[in-house]
Structure 1
Amino acid sequence: MTFLDALPFGTGVALAALTGLVLGSFIATLVLRWPAGRSVLGRSQCDDCGRVLRAIELVPLLSAMVARGCCRKCRAAIDPFHWRVELGSALIGATALAVMPGTTGWIWALLGWMLLPLALLDARHFWLPDRLNALLAVTGLLLAGPLLGASLLDRWIGALAGGVILSLIAWGYRCTRGGDGMGGGDPKLVAAIGCWLGWQALPLMLLLASLGGIVWALLVQRKGDQPLAQRPVPFGVFACTAAFATVPFWPLISAR
């Protein structure tokens, strides 16, 4: 039994939520700054007047509530993206520890926290950075064994199978339709997810991701503001969401 397993249920959930708040603040900064070529590690400042923010103004969620979503100096509105990501990251941690108390829950939460910036970057910029995909893959190979009980070999096979399957789909679309139907980061992301789930649970993840994409396509088609065939699909968003959801669902459907 580890220290994490010995934590009382409520303490574990609260600690995971607090950890998620802190990580969410960093994730929001990364998603906003990295695509713009800005340093992720620089001091936080008001986007409008450039005032450097004090430590007391960087407390996740609480600072935004106290300041009522505005800069203390110029009163310009603070992008609500910050507190929304912080809240989402906290919910990832709390959900993981509420459903799976102990070490396994923390590993699941870590998966969710690593998937969150990838999903957000794909949703906002259709970009799945190789460095984040590689970090996700390496972390999965090193730590994800207890998550679904997949052996290291099973996770290596999952990585290979995920990458090959998505690459073949992209190649087939290019041959038949004469254009790219999938971004280059999608096969790498699915390969990295395979490093966490193993090959056995990978079909469930792909099924859930495909269903999410179909629902999204139907909703977009109803709006009718742009032909669906001309609209880029953020498949990474659905793959990340499906990967997180697969963790609790796979043991239920695979139990004998």
Structure 2
Amino acid sequence: MTLFELLSHSPAALVGLVFIVGLLIGSFLNVVIYRLPKMMEQAWQQEARSMLALPEEPPATHFNLVAPRSACPHCGHQIRWYENIPVVSWLALRGKCSACGGKIAVRYPLVELATALISALAAWHFGYGPWLLAVLFACWALVALAMIDFDTTLLPDSITYPLLWVGLMAAWAGISPVSLQDAVMGAAAGYLALWSVYWAFKLLTGKEGMGYGDFKLLATLGAWLGWQLLPLVILLSSVVGAVVGGLLLATGGVKRDQGIPFGPYLAGAGLIALLWGQAIVDTYLGMMQF
């Protein structure tokens, strides 16, 4: 029996393998979450210097997603391969650098574990097939977008646009349960929905209530889910965002005039809708019939 036959006939093997792959992808996502905003900032600085006709200044070191090697932020110790095993190495090192004893943030193993659990849940829910590969890509991209927006209030186009096109191509190829027509309508409706809210809020208050990245992310979710599930995504993200935002204001976590990123709530609602959206809608409609 080949590996593909095993995965197609054994849900346990599929879930287990996807969990391990999810751990490895989660480790890579930690790199993306930390480095991509810095790479974007370097690109913006170079563009600004070019527009102002200033001489370009090459970066002090070659910096991208693969170079330089990961290192301790406290002492610069380069992380060895056996110190970079997802979750396991952090536990073995007790959350400290092996060279200087500086603390390693617990968010790194949490991102790895969350990515693995979400991936395994998707494998258990959808089973073996091409749609699972597409959904895994969506899950990983949404985790990265949520964390980057949480840290920087940025939703990089370099992640959002590929995710949008994969959703549309999956619908075009017949892999997605969403038709191409519904996917295109979902992308358009998702963008226009938040664009309308943005301008209504700006006209009423003179302030910007959200960024254009939020429009693009909801458009992307519309391409994956279809226009029919967009109300559910908006409702889930708004309710959770209002609750969390209220708690942060009440506890002093943020100031009243401080912006709160909406991307993590959109991404979380999108993941829920991707896995259980239709079941949630069907359950609600069934309850409304009584």
2:142 maps to amino acid: L
- Within the candidate set 250, 257, 261, 1:234 is matched to 261
Partner of 2:8: 6
Deviation by residue 1:75-106 (Cα, 9 ceiling, x = unmatched): 22222221111011011112112233222444
Please give the per-residue CA displacement for 1:104-160, whole angstroms capped at 9, x wherever unaligned. Answer: 44433332111001101111111111111111101111235544x111121111111
Contact 1:173 1:181 in 2 (8 A): yes
Which of residues 30, 35, 39 is equivalent to 2:64? Answer: 39
Farther-moved stretch of structure 1 (27-36 vs 100-109): 100-109
Cα RMSD, aligned residues only: 2.1
CA contact (8 A) 2:229 2:278 kept: no
Q: Distance in 2 between matches of 1:63 and 1:217?
A: 34
The answer to whether residue 99 in structure 2 is matched with residue 73 in structure 1 is yes
Distance in 1 (CA, whole Å) between partners of 2:12 and 2:204 is: 54
* Conserved? CA contact 1:4–1:102, under 8 Å: no
Task: Tell me by how many angstroms 1:224 deviates.
Answer: 4.7
Deviation at 1:225, TM superposition (A): 5.9
Residue 160 (structure 2) aligned to one of 133, 155, 165: 133
Give 1:196-215 correspondences, 5 Å limit: 196-215=224-243
Letter in 2 for 1:237: P
Corresponding residue number in structure 1 for 2:251? 223
Q: Counterpart in 2 of 1:115? A: 142
Q: Which residue of 2 aligns with 1:185?
A: 213
Alignment of 1:80-159 (within 5 A): 80-103=106-129, 104-143=131-170, 146-147=175-176, 149-159=177-187
TM-score by length of 2: 0.80
What TM-score, normalized to structure 1? 0.90
For structure 2, list consecutive stretches of 5 or more residues without a partner in the other structure: 40-62
Would the alpha carbon gap of residues 32 and 7 (structure 1) be closer, same or farther in structure 2, given more than 3 Å must change? farther
The equivalent position to 2:21 in structure 1, one of 19, 22, 35, is 19
- TM-superposed deviation, 1:5: 6.4
The answer on whether the counterparts of 2:178 and 2:226 sit within 8 Å (CA) in structure 1 is yes
Bigger drift between 35-44 and 169-178 goes to 35-44
Structure possessing the higher radius of gyration over alpha carbons: 2
With over 3 angstroms needed to count, the CA separation of the structure-2 counterparts of 1:18 and 1:219, relative to structure 1, is same
CA distance in 2, matches of 1:19, 1:101: 15
Count of residues in correspondence between the two structures = 253
Separation in 2 of the partners of 1:116 and 1:193? 13
Report how far residue 246 of structure 1 moved.
Answer: 0.7
**Whole-Å Cα distance in 2 between the matches of residues 146 and 246 of structure 1?**
17
Aligned to 2:50: none
| 3-state DSSP of counterpart to 1:90 | helix
